[in-house]
């Protein structure tokens, strides 16, 4: 009971606070931006034809009213919360009147599929290789590995992606440039293989940098850990290496690594904007890019809302689960 | 009683090279020791005199930049004489904990913070003996009870124990397999005096139960007075005086030892204690001749150039000092 009151409840309250502030800020930011979605649409409509100024004015007002942008900021804010409570994120301004929830629901599986895979692969590979390279830092393979990673890590993501596109897509033509899959969605190998085929390049481009980052992190954590008194003492006492690596080194470096994994998983809901744009991958990053371009407030807010909730929930879960990993934060 | 470990003219230097500049720190420079089976041998000296380095070499647990450049360390175990430098990895592993063990300096961090005490014990026990988890727990529980430690520490994590308790648990962890030869590096440092007393008593118990040999390193002469049978005084990487504890405390001959003993507070006298003038020399460029001559009020010309030998000035009392040597020879004449 005490645990619930002193540990769990404050953290859940914190979660609500973070989400509330986050939603308020995301409500304000697009409205403060110089792009007005109504003017964007009207500009597109009047691009190839002239319009009577009077009609133009009426049309602008009607559209503003239709989108709910004629009301004061406060009224819009209250309305926004009211709709949010029933799970309505409003219509998309760019694809009026398609609901934002529908747009996100279509795009989200692509992003989750792509980023869940890359996060798990890069985390596992980076932590495993980095820890081993840190523990066996005198071995030749570990040193070679480290040099390679140190060279790759600082390369900007865009350049890695472009190089991959140039080599494997443009030159060798092994992989397609755009799209997510071919054929109708079904649980057949035929369809799934096209998923892998289309997703391979975007995934690879993300995995390279993310693995390098985790490798460096895992290696430096391990280097600190093997110099610690308890690892040195266990080695002096000839405790078997396997045990030292598992229970003395990895068990301790795992603490920050788990936090990193959880936060990365929370960030999935933000999408991989650059990746999805570069590879024209139909995920929420791509949707977000178009929404920003069109001043599509509701879509921007829907996606931001998702990522706020994603990160806040991940942080909450870490807080609640951390005592299981680290006895030092347990309540006594 | 036979000898259990000896060193002959042992020299161990820290050799580092950075940007082409080689630096050699002569932390242990020509030390000859004979430690007898079953005794408590104390090694004393101020910070930076090479105490811990000597211990690392005796224990065979050192890595570059620390290098043995001369001399030898020999273990006399079960009738065999083993040269520490010739041991295979396997022999090293077999000796550790079962025969030779080590109580480290600063036990605050030698226990894995995310592992329960009993699991740490199991790791250490099962590394040297076939033991299931429950056998290890039983062995540990019995041993802790013998030593008067509460059984609940077994299920605890290190951070839940006090500093004194952690030190005691560490001593238990080091001696759980009844090693013949125990090295302890500053086992009471950083503990308050009341806890120190408990830890000293525990070390005594552990040593006496099986008649193990204890090599005790500390700068605290008070601890040596309580525990040690014999004391060796180290100064700047050299052994300057060695005798039984009583002689060292009551009749020290080397000027450095005298300073050390005289600086101890006493219950009978309230006068101010003198500190040793100057500071310990840097060991990358030790002074010529007697290494203490710069701080020694009795220093003569010869002290600046000729290194004094360790000589037996009375039975089993060794001192390396020109002044003492001269006094003796003048008395003899």
Q: Predicted ipTM? A: 0.84
**DSSP at B288:** S
**Residue (of B6, B46, B51) closest to B28 by Cα position:** B51
Q: Number of A to B CB contacts under 8 A, please give it.
A: 60
Query: Is B107 inside a domain boundary?
Result: no
Read off the pLDDT band of B107 (50, 70, 90): low
* Chain B residues within an 8 Å CB radius of A242: none
> Do B77 and B220 have their domain in common?
yes
> Tell me, what's the pLDDT at B119?
92
Domain boundary residue among B254, B270, B288?
B288
> Do B130 and B264 have their domain in common?
no
Q: Looking up tokens 């066996």, which residue turns up?
A: A136
> How many Cα atoms within 13 Å fall on the side-chain side of residue B189?
15
- CB contact under 8 Å between A230 and B113, yes or no, is yes
* Chain B residues within an 8 Å CB radius of A252: 112-114
> Do B17 and B166 have their domain in common?
no
Assess whether pLDDT exceeds 60 at residue A195.
yes
Number of Cβ atoms within 10 Å of the Cβ of A40: 16
Q: Concatenated DSSP letters for A84-153?
A: HHTT---B-STTTTSBHHHHHHHHHHHHHHHHHHHHHHHHHHHHHHHHHHHHTTTSHHHHHHHHHHHHHT
Read off the pLDDT band of B333 (50, 70, 90): low
How far the first Cα of chain B sits from its last, in Å, is 36
Tell me if chain B has a CB within 8 Å of the CB of A256: no
> Do B186 and B87 have their domain in common?
yes
User: Residue B123: closest CA among chain A residues belongs to which residue?
Assistant: A239
> Tell me, what's the pLDDT at A1?
63
Q: Looking up tokens 């996606």, which residue turns up?
A: A303
**Of A51-55, A297-301, B117-121, B306-310, which range is least confident?**
A51-55
Residue B101 pairs with which residues in a beta bridge?
B182
Task: Give dist(CA B56, CA B183) in Å, integer.
Answer: 9
> Do B61 and B38 have their domain in common?
yes
**DSSP at A6:** I
Tell me if chain A has a CB within 8 Å of the CB of B128: yes
Query: Is B23 inside a domain boundary?
Result: yes
Minimum-distance CB partner of B102 among A236, A248, A332: A236
> Tell me, what's the pLDDT at A116?
92
Read off the pLDDT band of B220 (50, 70, 90): confident
Minimum-distance CB partner of B114 among A237, A243, A327: A327
**Residue (of A291, A311, A310) closest to A301 by Cα position:** A291
> Do B166 and B233 have their domain in common?
no
Q: Are A217 and B72 in contact (CB under 8 A)?
A: no
Higher pLDDT, B268 or A332: B268
Q: How many domains does chain B have?
A: 2
> Tell me, what's the pLDDT at B75?
87
Q: Which domain holds residue B79?
A: 3-99+179-288
Residue B286, helix vs strand vs coil: coil
**Residue (of A316, A132, A306, A155) closest to A226 by Cα position:** A132
How do the domains of chain A map onto residue ranges? 111-282
> Do B125 and B55 have their domain in common?
no
Assess whether pLDDT exceeds 70 at residue A331.
no
Assess whether pLDDT exceeds 70 at residue A109.
yes
Helix (H) or strand (E) run with residue A74 in it = helix A73-85
This prediction's pTM: 0.78
> Do B186 and B218 have their domain in common?
yes
**Residue (of B51, B56, B185, B177) closest to B122 by Cα position:** B177
Task: Give dist(CA A179, CA A282) in Å, integer.
Answer: 7
Domain boundary residue among B155, B178, B201?
B178
> Do B8 and B94 have their domain in common?
yes
**Residue (of A303, A311, A221, A215) closest to A263 by Cα position:** A311
> Do B136 and B275 have their domain in common?
no
Task: Give dist(CA B136, CA B128) in Å, integer.
Answer: 11
> Do B127 and B254 have their domain in common?
no
Tell me if chain B has a CB within 8 Å of the CB of A251: yes
Q: Which residues 164-223 of chain B have a CB within 8 Å of chain A?
A: none
> Tell me, what's the pLDDT at B332?
62
Q: Concatenated DSSP letters for A173-226?
A: --S-SS-S-SS---SSHHHHHHHHHHHHHHHHHHHHHHHHHHHHHHHHHHHHHH
> Do B76 and B141 have their domain in common?
no
Shortest Cα–Cα distance, B330 to chain A (Å): 51
Phi (first) and psi of residue B12, to 5 degrees? -135, 120
Compute CA A288 distance to the chain's CA centroid, rounded to the nearest angstrom: 12
Domain boundary residue among B135, B154, B178?
B178
Output the average pLDDT for chain B.
85
* Proportion of chain A above pLDDT 90, given as a percent: 19
Assess whether pLDDT exceeds 90 at residue B53.
no
Length of chain A: 332
Assess whether pLDDT exceeds 60 at residue B210.
yes
Tell me if chain A has a CB within 8 Å of the CB of B97: yes
pLDDT digits (tens, 9 = 90+) for B24-50: 888 888 888 889 888 999 998 888 788
**DSSP at B281:** P
How far the first Cα of chain A sits from its last, in Å, is 13
Q: Are A153 and A213 in contact (CB under 8 A)?
A: yes
Task: Give dist(CA A104, CA A116) in Å, integer.
Answer: 17
Q: Looking up tokens 């989750």, which residue turns up?
A: A112
Output the average pLDDT for chain A.
85
**Of A40-49, A148-157, A299-308, which range is least confident?**
A40-49
Assess whether pLDDT exceeds 70 at residue A78.
yes
* Chain B residues within an 8 Å CB radius of A233: 104, 110
pLDDT digits (tens, 9 = 90+) for B224-241: 888 899 999 988 888 889
Tell me if chain A has a CB within 8 Å of the CB of B121: no
Helices B163-175, B117-126: crossing angle, 10 deg rounding: 20
The CATH class given to the A111-282 domain equals mainly alpha
């Amino acid at each position: 009971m005490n645990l619930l009151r002193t540990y769990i409840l404050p953290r859940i309250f914190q979660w609500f606070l973070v989400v509330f502030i986050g939603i308020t800020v995301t409500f304000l930011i697009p409205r403060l931006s110089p792009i007005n979605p109504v003017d964007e649409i009207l500009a597109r409509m009047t691009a190839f034809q002239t319009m009577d100024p009077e009609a133009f004015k009426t049309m602008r007002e009607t559209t503003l009213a239709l989108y709910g942008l004629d009301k004061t900021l406060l009224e819009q804010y209250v309305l926004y919360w009211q709709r949010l409570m029933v799970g309505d994120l409003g219509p998309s301004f760019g694809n009026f009147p398609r609901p934002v929830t529908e747009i996100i629901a279509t795009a989200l599986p692509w992003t989750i599929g792509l980023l869940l895979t890359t996060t798990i692969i890069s985390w596992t590979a980076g932590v495993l290789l980095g820890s081993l390279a840190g523990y066996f830092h005198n071995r030749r393979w570990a040193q070679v590995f480290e040099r390679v990673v140190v060279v790759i890590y600082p390369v900007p993501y865009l350049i890695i992606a472009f190089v991959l596109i140039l080599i494997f897509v443009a030159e060798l033509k092994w992989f397609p440039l755009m799209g997510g899959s071919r054929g109708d969605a079904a649980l057949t190998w035929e369809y799934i293989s096209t998923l892998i085929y289309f997703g391979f390049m975007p995934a690879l481009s993300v995995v390279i940098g993310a693995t390098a980052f985790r490798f460096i992190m895992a290696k430096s954590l391990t280097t600190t850990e093997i110099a610690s008194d308890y690892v040195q003492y266990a080695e002096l006492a000839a405790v078997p290496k396997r045990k030292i690596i598992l229970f003395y080194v990895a068990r301790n470096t795992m603490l920050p690594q788990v936090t990193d994994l959880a936060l990365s998983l929370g960030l999935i809901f933000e999408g991989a904007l650059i990746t999805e744009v570069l590879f024209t991958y139909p995920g929420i990053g791509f949707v977000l890019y178009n929404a920003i371009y069109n001043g599509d407030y509701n879509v921007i807010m829907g996606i931001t809302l998702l990522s706020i909730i994603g990160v806040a929930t991940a942080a909450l879960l870490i807080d609640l689960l951390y005592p299981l990993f680290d006895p030092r934060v347990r309540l006594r | 009683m036979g000898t259990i470990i000896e060193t002959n003219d042992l020299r161990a230097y820290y050799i580092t090279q950075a940007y082409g500049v080689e630096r050699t720190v002569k932390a242990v420079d020509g030390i000859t020791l004979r430690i007898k089976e079953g005794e408590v041998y104390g090694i004393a000296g101020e910070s930076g005199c090479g105490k811990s380095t000597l211990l690392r070499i005796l224990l065979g647990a050192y890595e570059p930049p620390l290098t043995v450049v001369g001399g030898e360390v020999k273990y006399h175990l079960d009738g065999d004489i083993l040269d520490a430098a010739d041991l295979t990895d396997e022999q090293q592993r077999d000796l550790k904990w079962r025969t030779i063990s080590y109580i480290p300096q600063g036990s605050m961090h030698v226990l894995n913070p995310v592992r329960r005490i009993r699991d740490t014990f199991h790791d250490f026990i099962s590394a040297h003996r076939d033991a299931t988890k429950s056998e290890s727990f039983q062995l540990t529980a019995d041993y802790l009870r013998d030593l008067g430690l509460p059984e609940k520490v077994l299920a605890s994590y290190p951070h839940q124990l006090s500093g004194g308790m952690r030190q005691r648990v560490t001593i238990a962890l080091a001696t759980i397999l009844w090693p013949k030869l125990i090295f302890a590096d500053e086992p009471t440092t950083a503990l308050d005096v009341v806890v120190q007393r408990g830890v000293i008593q525990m070390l005594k118990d552990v040593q006496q139960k099986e008649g193990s040999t204890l090599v005790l390193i500390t700068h605290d002469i008070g601890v040596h007075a309580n525990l040690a049978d014999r004391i060796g005084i180290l100064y700047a990487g050299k052994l300057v005086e060695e005798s039984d504890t009583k002689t060292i405390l009551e009749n020290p001959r080397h000027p450095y030892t005298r300073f050390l003993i005289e600086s101890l507070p006493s219950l009978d006298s309230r006068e101010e204690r003198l500190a040793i003038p100057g500071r310990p020399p840097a060991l990358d460029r030790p002074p010529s001749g007697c290494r203490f001559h710069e701080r020694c009020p009795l220093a003569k010309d010869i002290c600046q150039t000729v290194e004094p030998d360790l000589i037996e000035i009375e039975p089993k009392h060794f001192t390396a000092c020109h002044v003492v040597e001269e006094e003796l020879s003048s008395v003899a004449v």
